[in-house]
Amino acid sequence: MKIMKIASIITGIIFALFAVLLLAQMWGNVMPWEIFIKLAVTAGVIIIVTFGLAMLYREYIEEKTMKDEKYLD
């Protein structure tokens, strides 16, 4: 499905950017830790919500397809 591909790309980009930020923070202390923790939580929430919505959408489309093909009543 196209939506899963888009969700995977979004979550992959956020995950990679956060990994770079994590390494920069550990080695260079580029921002206060309070802000870093807030960014970490925000990145985690965005990843979970994006992937969760994609999974829900995929399930909806699969169920609709099965109903259209008369596999489900």
Q: What is the pLDDT along the chain (73 residues), one digit of tens a residue?
A: 688 888 889 999 999 999 999 999 999 999 999 999 999 999 999 999 998 998 888 888 877 777 777 766 5
Q: Do 42 and 14 meet the contact criterion of CB atoms below 8 Å apart?
A: no
Question: How many structural domains are present in the chain?
Answer: 1
Does any domain span residue 32? yes
Domain assignment present for residue 73? The answer is: no
Domain of 47 in residue numbering reads as 2-68
Assess if residue 54 is contained within a domain. Answer: yes
Residues in the chain: 73
Rounded to whole angstroms, the Cα distance separating 43 from 32 reads 17
Burial class (CB in 10 A: 0-12, 13-18, 19+), 7: buried
